Amino acid sequence: MHPGTLADDVAPLPQANAPATDLVVASLSARQGSLLSLAAEFLRFGTVGGLGLLWDVSTFYVVRPFLGFTIATMASFLVAATMNWMLNRLWTFRGRGSQDSLFRQWLSFLGANGLGFLLNRSVLFGLAWSSPFCFAHPVVAFAGGSLAGMTANFTLSRRLVFRDQVQ
């Protein structure tokens, strides 16, 4: 970051005696930069979530014959959530929240994503139990559940798990 700039890709800050329009332009530039950064972070989170859906569904299909439908969905969530935590830590939120131990951060991730879990599995079970098609093809119910929980998981992960350390 260069002196007098908000970030490397944002215009320099106006001088203190600059016209009000310069202050407004600088403020809008900063806001636009932070929105683009947030959008990029959300896209990375969504990509990880897509991979999480694959881990969730794959694990479900592997363990379902041994555990049954309901227990298999719980086990598959734990596998997917663990893989998502790891990728989000390494890629989506790289370097943020690194002050926590790995185990503590993983537990924090699982706890913070509890609301997303409830949304996800409520939609999954709702679709599976109310639609013979979704019960016969659980991947559809998993996809619906994944979409239902994604925004809550992103917001809670960003604010509670992968946060910058407050000085």
Please check whether residue 4 lies inside any domain of the structure: no
pLDDT of residue 26: 53
Give every CB contact of residue 94 below 8 A, 6+ residues apart in sequence: none
- Contacts for 65 with CB less than 8 Å, ≥ 6 apart: none
Residue 31 lies in a domain: no
Task: Please tell me what DSSP assigns to residue 41.
Answer: H
Residue 152: pLDDT over 70 = yes
Q: Which domain holds residue 66?
A: 37-161
Q: Is 6 a domain residue?
A: no
Query: Which tens digit of pLDDT belongs to each residue from 62-79?
Result: 999 999 999 999 999 999
Q: Does residue 57 lie within any of the structural domains?
A: yes
Is residue 166 situated within a structural domain?
no
Q: Which two tokens stand for residue 155?
A: 């917001």
Instruction: Tell me the mean pLDDT in the region 34-51.
Output: 90
User: Does residue 167 surpass a pLDDT of 70?
Assistant: no
Q: How confident is the model at residue 38 (pLDDT cuts 50, 70, 90)?
A: confident
Has residue 20 been placed in a domain? no
* 63 domain-assigned: yes
More confident residue, 108 or 54: 54
- pLDDT above 90 (res 5): no
Q: pLDDT, tens digit, for every residue of 77-93?
A: 999 999 999 999 999 98
Residue 22 lies in a domain: no
Number of domains forming the structure of the chain: 1
Q: Is the CB of residue 52 less than 8 Å from the CB of residue 146?
A: yes
